[in-house]
Structure 1
Amino acid sequence: MALNLDDLGITPAGLDAVRPFAVEALDVRGRAVALGPVLENILDRHDYPEPVSRLLAEAIVLTSLLGTSLKFDGRFTLQTQTDGPVSMLVVDFATPDAIRACATFDREMVEELMAGGKATQEVLLGRGHLAMTIDQGRHMQRYQGLVELDGISMEEVARRYFERSEQIPTEVRLGVGELFTRQEGEGPNKSWTAGGVLIQFLPEAPERMKQADIDPGDAPEGVSPHEIDEDDAWVEAKVLVDTIKDVELTDPEVSVEMLLFRLFHERGVRLFEPQPLADKCSCSRDKIEGVLAGFSAEEIEHMTVDGKIVVTCEFCSSRYDFDAS
């Protein structure tokens, strides 16, 4: 029998909203998201090659899950810097709901990899690092965590980030898909869809969260790696999340509430108010004019073409024209 959320008194969060939840029987808290128009608007605006769009979409999902967890007015930024064909990804979330994103890549190299069927996430990113930055404003110190990118997935990035920076057992599943629809008399229309689930193990007794020490990579020969038996509740939660199929994360007909009910109904899942997301950029004419005012006359002259300075925002593609005088 199909699950009817109305019968349970649950209003679906819908697309472009993060749903916080808790599975108290397993000492687990988490967040789930399904992205639709917000993701489509961002990717359609840039018109990136398909594998670049897919890579940026995963970064947007991960940023949505992490950024909406901020308990203060601030900004969460995810940024990669690597030697791969996609040399940089930037996803910026500003509380309470604004998200924007862009990518820097070598189009010729990406198209060559696509032609050879080798445009995998690992190859596109190459080697480098991913930085997650939390900014609480000009009067507060910024916090930044780094994760080495050495052929790992975005899902593994999140695991390593929390393991090393906050020592919180974390599991995450991300999915990106393309939705094809057809209207009578028209060709197929393609749009992007994506989703994700992140869970963390937060028991009251901190000793239950113990994790194995990180392998230093240079231990003497014959030394056994440090191992710790994981808590049974956390093992169960991870096994359940591992059963999530990509189609469950990308099908608009499968709400996050339906997915969470399927995963945790035997244990009981508690839902909290959803947090909406919006495609918003923080650029403005006044901000850019303020930046230009800081350049020297020589630098302004170098930027000037036919008496004008043209600035295009890399995030939202908005164009601003200024008279050089």
Structure 2
Amino acid sequence: MDSQSPDMKTRPEGPVRAPSAVPIDDAALPYEVDALDVRGRLVRLGPALDDILTKHDYPAPVGKLLGEAIVLTTLLGSALKFEGRFILQAQTDGPVSFLVVDYKAPDQLRAYARFDASRLGTAKDSGALLGRGHLAMTIDQGPDMSRYQGLVALDGGSLEDAAHEYFLRSEQIPTRVRLAVGEEWRSNDGGRHRWRAGGMLMQFLPKAPERARQADLHPGDAPEGAEVHAVAEDDAWVEARSLVETVEDVELIDPELSGERLLYRLFHERGVRVFKPLVLKAQCSCSRDAVAAMLKSFSPDDRAAMVKDDKVVVTCEFCSSVYDFTPDEAGVEDA
């Protein structure tokens, strides 16, 4: 391998401006490092994440796992260029048997998880909490368009591992993902702990596609001694990936460190360009009309079985909003 790839570029003569020192929470910051042919997004979540997680009072390990899923979904969903949805959903045999994150373009987030408290035990990391199952990533372009879905097996690894596997198998784009979630405590905040999260996605997108070639997938049960196809990684990608791997969790969630300063720390020798951040918010799409329409999709017998104390009560699993209906409003027929 040459010491420098043919298409690698030198550092720009100078920065257009200094990196902003003002941190921005609940935002996705697109960036690119032209000299290394990489692009990506840096996500910081504060109040929006805290709003989603505290609505359900999750145990800390479950909140951290769902927070990681929310960051991963935001990193991917914020790339949508149309009015649609990016949905991440995991179904597993682990203590957290189900989780879903719904990103509605351009800027709305909601999420929830189901878990068995009796099985949480000492499970702390995402691999132990999820166990074995599958992770589905769905792009929903609207009612008149077909859906795209990618599936990744979960086998005790982390959500970062699953994301890397997804890009290797489905997108075949060299990609690095970093996720971090933590709780912040400040003495002037009444002793309340608040959730924070950060994440980073970086992809190698050179003009010459042969530079982005990756090794073939593991041959699985190939005969012993079978030659495994090896591909030398491009120098630019090796450098960029090595820099991102130095990022610590605390840097991704530090409320005093701006996203621009973090990117400058990483890529100042090569030059990094940032674009207008996308501001995000926690917002559920449920409504009384939507719930009423959902009730009408059930059979008359099912609707009748929902009546308790002369009313039908529906609680949104995403935002915990409660909707009360009289039997007549719920479409329950008179006996």
Equivalent residue, structure 2, for 1:224: 227
CA contact (8 A) 2:19 2:261 kept: no
* Alpha-carbon distance in 1 for matches of 2:18, 2:205: 27
SS in 2 for 1:72: coil
- CA deviations on 1:129-182 (whole Å, 9 max, x unpaired) are 000000101111100001110111111111111111111000011111111111
Instruction: Please report how far the alpha carbon of residue 7 of structure 1 lies from its aligned counterpart in structure 2 after TM superposition.
Output: 6.6
Equivalent residue, structure 2, for 1:148: 153
Instruction: Please report how far the alpha carbon of residue 120 of structure 1 lies from its aligned counterpart in structure 2 after TM superposition.
Output: 2.9
CA contact (8 A) 1:194 1:249 kept: yes
Equivalent residue, structure 1, for 2:238: 235
User: 1:157 pairs with 138, 158, 162, which one?
Assistant: 162
Equivalent residue, structure 2, for 1:40: 50
CA contact (8 A) 1:81 1:129 kept: yes
Equivalent residue, structure 1, for 2:306: 303
What code does the residue aligned with 2:243 have?
L
SS in 2 for 1:8: coil
- CA deviations on 1:48-80 (whole Å, 9 max, x unpaired) are 100000000000111111000011110000000
SS in 1 for 2:290: helix
What code does the residue aligned with 2:140 have?
D
Instruction: Please report how far the alpha carbon of residue 101 of structure 1 lies from its aligned counterpart in structure 2 after TM superposition.
Output: 0.5
- CA deviations on 1:272-313 (whole Å, 9 max, x unpaired) are 110111101011110110111122221111000011000000
What code does the residue aligned with 1:98 have?
Q
SS in 1 for 2:35: helix
User: 2:192 pairs with 168, 189, 192, which one?
Assistant: 189
* Alpha-carbon distance in 1 for matches of 2:23, 2:102: 22
Does residue 179 (structure 1) correspond to residue 189 (structure 2)? The answer is: no
* Alpha-carbon distance in 1 for matches of 2:117, 2:246: 35
* Alpha-carbon distance in 2 for matches of 1:317, 1:135: 24
* Alpha-carbon distance in 2 for matches of 1:12, 1:145: 37
Equivalent residue, structure 2, for 1:77: 87
CA contact (8 A) 1:30 1:200 kept: yes
Q: Residues 191 and 9 of structure 1: is their aligned pair in 2 closer, same or farther, counting only changes over 3 Å?
A: closer
User: 2:116 pairs with 87, 106, 109, which one?
Assistant: 106
Q: Residues 146 and 234 of structure 1: is their aligned pair in 2 closer, same or farther, counting only changes over 3 Å?
A: same
- TM-score normalised to structure 1 length: 0.93
What code does the residue aligned with 2:133 have?
G
CA contact (8 A) 1:62 1:196 kept: yes
CA contact (8 A) 1:179 1:191 kept: yes
* Alpha-carbon distance in 1 for matches of 2:134, 2:298: 31
Equivalent residue, structure 2, for 1:127: 132
Does residue 14 (structure 1) correspond to residue 24 (structure 2)? The answer is: yes
CA contact (8 A) 2:23 2:255 kept: no
TM superposition outliers: structure 1 runs of 4+ over 3 Å: 9-13
Equivalent residue, structure 2, for 1:253: 256
Equivalent residue, structure 2, for 1:312: 315
- CA deviations on 1:246-297 (whole Å, 9 max, x unpaired) are 1101110011111000000110001111011110101111011011112222
- CA deviations on 1:215-247 (whole Å, 9 max, x unpaired) are 131111210221100000000000000000111
* Alpha-carbon distance in 1 for matches of 2:19, 2:131: 47
What code does the residue aligned with 1:54 have?
K
Does residue 93 (structure 1) correspond to residue 103 (structure 2)? The answer is: yes
Does residue 207 (structure 1) correspond to residue 207 (structure 2)? The answer is: no
* Alpha-carbon distance in 1 for matches of 2:236, 2:273: 17
SS in 1 for 2:49: helix
* Alpha-carbon distance in 1 for matches of 2:150, 2:243: 28
SS in 2 for 1:283: coil
* Alpha-carbon distance in 1 for matches of 2:140, 2:98: 20
Task: Choose 249-258 or 119-128, whichever is displaced more.
Answer: 119-128
* Alpha-carbon distance in 2 for matches of 1:64, 1:119: 23
CA contact (8 A) 2:23 2:256 kept: no
SS in 1 for 2:30: strand
Q: Residues 168 and 47 of structure 1: is their aligned pair in 2 closer, same or farther, counting only changes over 3 Å?
A: same
Q: Residues 86 and 204 of structure 1: is their aligned pair in 2 closer, same or farther, counting only changes over 3 Å?
A: same
Does residue 292 (structure 1) correspond to residue 300 (structure 2)? The answer is: no
